Amino acid sequence: MLVIHCTSVAASIAVAKTCEICGHASRKNRSLWNMSGIIFPFMTTLAYRLRLAAASDAEAICRIYNQGIEDRIATLETELRTPDERRQWLANRRPRHPVIVAENGSGDITAWASLNVFNAREAYRFVADISVYVERGWRGKGAGRVLLEKLVELGRQHGFHKLVLSAFPFNAGGMALYEKLGFRTVGTYREQGQLDGKWVDTIIMEKLL
């Protein structure tokens, strides 16, 4: 089990000895885990449990994704999804492109993230697109950060060379997080799509692993 403790400003880590997603301690913190088994961070207020998504999570994943669509802050998608559609989406995933969820202390799913196919062409097999969605009431409380950090770790484990993402320039919180975790801006697609009758730009970012 992997438990992440964090504040709204910065994330610290408190873990048991193995992670449910990858089955071992992360490279970054393994030496600390070997010393004491559990790290108790200073000034922590929230804890998240990360795990691979299951079919039974489809409804929560659907609800959080639809919030991202409705709020117009994370995607150019405008068609709301259904739990059945998300359940089929999960069933069609391959091991190299996992979906992970973050649970709060009550066991409720507060956010999810995924490694996605960037391009089906063979030459792009070492590049993954990423998605991170956080429930409205849990935005700004560290769930997105711990999921993004886990995606970086999983990307390396699955042999990817690069992670890429697309973001809206007006999503200031997301942009700041991506930059803090080492993503760099590649460029801007001007007027890439329309939301509610208005043209919006998208920013392309990347991180070499």
57-90 confidence digits (pLDDT tens): 999 999 999 999 999 999 999 999 999 999 999 9
Round to whole Å and give the CA distance between 209 and 207. Answer: 6
Mean per-residue pLDDT for 166-193?
95
What pLDDT, in 10s, does the model give residues 169-178?
A: 999 989 999 9
Looking at domain 54-208, which CATH architecture does it have? 3-Layer(aba) Sandwich (3.40)
Mean per-residue pLDDT for 44-51?
80
Beta bridge partners of 101: 51, 112
Q: Which segment of 15-19, 34-38, 121-125, 178-182 scores lowest on mean pLDDT?
A: 34-38
**Residues 156 and 141: beta-carbon distance below 8 Å:** no
Round to whole Å and give the CA distance between 155 and 101. Answer: 16
What pLDDT, in 10s, does the model give residues 152-164?
A: 999 999 999 999 9
Mean per-residue pLDDT for 126-144?
96
What pLDDT, in 10s, does the model give residues 106-115?
A: 999 999 999 9
**Residues 3 and 41: beta-carbon distance below 8 Å:** no
The structure tokens 């091991």 sit at 95
DSSP per-residue string spanning 21-37 = TTSS--TTTHHHHHHHS
Q: Where are the domains of the chain?
A: 54-208
